Amino acid sequence: MTDLAGRVLAGRYRIEGLIGRGGMADVYRGIDTTLERPIAVKILTDRSDPVLRRFLREAQSMARLNHRNIVAVYDAGQADGLSYIIMELVSGRTLAQIPADGLTMHVAIRYFIELLEALANAHEQSIIHRDIKPTNVMVTDDGTVKVMDFGLSRRTSEMSSETNAGEIVGTIAYLAPERFLGKVADARSDLYSVGVVMYEVFTGRVPFKSPTDDLVAVIFAHVNDAPASLRTINRAVPPQIDQIVLKLLEKNADLRYQNARQLIAELGALIGGPAPAPAAGGSRPAAGIEGPPRRTSGMTLDESVRNALDRTFGSTTTLNAGYASTLSGMLAARKRDYPEATRTYRLALRAFKEIGNELEYAKTTLKYAAMILQKNSESPRTDRREIEESIRQLGMAVLDLRARGMVKELEEAERVLSALRRIALRLR
C-alpha cells in the first residue's frame, strides 16, 4: 500500500507518518483533529474476508477493554475504501526491544504483574488474547506496560473444539499445547504464553526451539517434551521463580495457575508487595515500576531471594552478552577476520564461565576451535601455542559434551580435535 501520510480519514483523523508495517495492517501516527490529540491509526492492507473479520474482532475486543495496561481503542470504521482502527498512541519499546541490562529484578517482576493485570481484566470479560509474546507487550516511556494486538483474541463464548480444530494462529514459540491439538483454548492458554515469556527473560531463550527452525519439531516439543528447569540454564534463577514458570508451562491446563490473579498474588508476595486489589469496572492503579518494594505483614521479601533474583538478572545480562559475542565470532570467522573472531569468542567464553554455564561454554569452545582449525588450515604460518591451547580446551569440552549426550556436537568436536592434533604432530 502507498504511504497515506497527509490523508484525512472520516473528515477527522489526519495521518502524519508511518510507524510500522505488519502482515495484515500498517500503523501510522496521526492526529484526531476534533479532540486535538495524537493517535495511532491502524490501516488494513490485506482485505481478504478472514483478515477483515479478524481486524474487526480486534477493534471490538479492544473497545470492550478499559484498562491502563491495555492499549485503548477510540474508534473504528471504513472510509474511502480503507478499514481503520483509531488507537491510543503509545511511545516506548516492546519487551523484546529492552536489553537484559535494562531490567532489574524489581522492574521485571513489576512488568509481569502489569501484563497479568491486563490479562486478568480481559479474561474477566471473557476475552482471551491468544498471541502473548514479547513484541505484543509495550513498555511506555514512563514505565507502564501496555498489552497490544488483540487481533487474534476471541470471546470465550466463541471458542469451541469445532472452531479451534485445524486453526493454529499466533506465534508458534509461545503457544500452549492445547492450541496444537484442536482443543478449546481459554485463559490458561494465555498464562502458558506468559510462562514462555518469563522463561525467555530469565534464561535468554524460549523453552522449545529447533536449531533448524523446524516448526513441526517445535510443535512436537510443546505437546510432548518437558521444559528444562530454568536453573539448568541459569544457575542464579531462584527455586521460587523456577517453580512458578514450570507450573505455567504444564502440558495439562488443569495443573497450571487457573487465573491470572493467582499468579499476581504469588509474584506480589515474592517481591515483598501486596497483590493489587481488584477495582470496580476492572480498572485499577497498576503495580508501581520504580521505587523500593512495599512491605506488608506476612509478605516481606526474604533477603536471600532478593539477592538470588538480583544475581539472576546479572547472569541474564552476562548470558546474553555471551550469546552476542558468540554470534560476532561466527560472523567474523566467516569473513576471515580471525583477530576479531578470536577476540569475540574469548569474550563469550569468559561470559559463560563467569555464570557457570558449562553447556554454552562447551559449545562455544567447539566453535572457537573450528575457527582455529579453519585459520591454520588456510595460513602457511601456524601458531603452535594457539593450536595446543585449542586442543586442551576442546579436549575438556569433549568430555562435557559426552557426559551430556550431545551426539551431534560430540561428533563434530571429535572431528575438529582430531584435525587439530594432526596439525600439532606436524609441528613437532
Beta bridge partners of 70: 147
Out of 131, 186, 190, 400, the active site residue is 131
CA 283: distance to chain centroid?
Answer: 26
367 half-sphere exposure, CB direction, 13 A CA radius: 25
What angle (nearest 5°) sits at the alpha carbon of residue 393, between those of residues 100 and 230? 35
* DSSP code of residue 80: T
DSSP codes joined into one string, 23-67: SSEEEEEEEETTTTEEEEEEEE----HHHHHHHHHHHHHHHH---
Residue 196: closest CA among 241, 159, 249? 249
149 is catalytic: no
SS3 (DSSP) at 14: strand
Q: How far apart are CA 424 and CA 428, in angstroms?
A: 7
C-alpha cell at 312: 539472576
Give the C-alpha separation, 299 to 272, whole Å.
5
3-class SS of residue 146: strand
In 3D space, the residue among 143, 423, 159, 145 whose CA is nearest the CA of residue 132 turns out to be 145
Q: In what order do the strands lie in the sheet with 82-88?
A: 8-9, 13-21, 25-32, 37-44, 82-88, 73-79
**H-run or E-run covering 403:** helix 384-403
Which ranges constitute the DSSP H helices of 71-210?
Answer: 105-123, 161-164, 177-180, 187-203
Cell of 177: 499445547
**What does 326-339 look like in DSSP terms, one character per residue?**
HHHHHHHHHTT-HH
2 Cβ contact list (under 8 Å, min separation 6): none
Going 199 to 185 to 94 to 222, the CA torsion angle's sign is: positive
What residues are labeled active site? 131
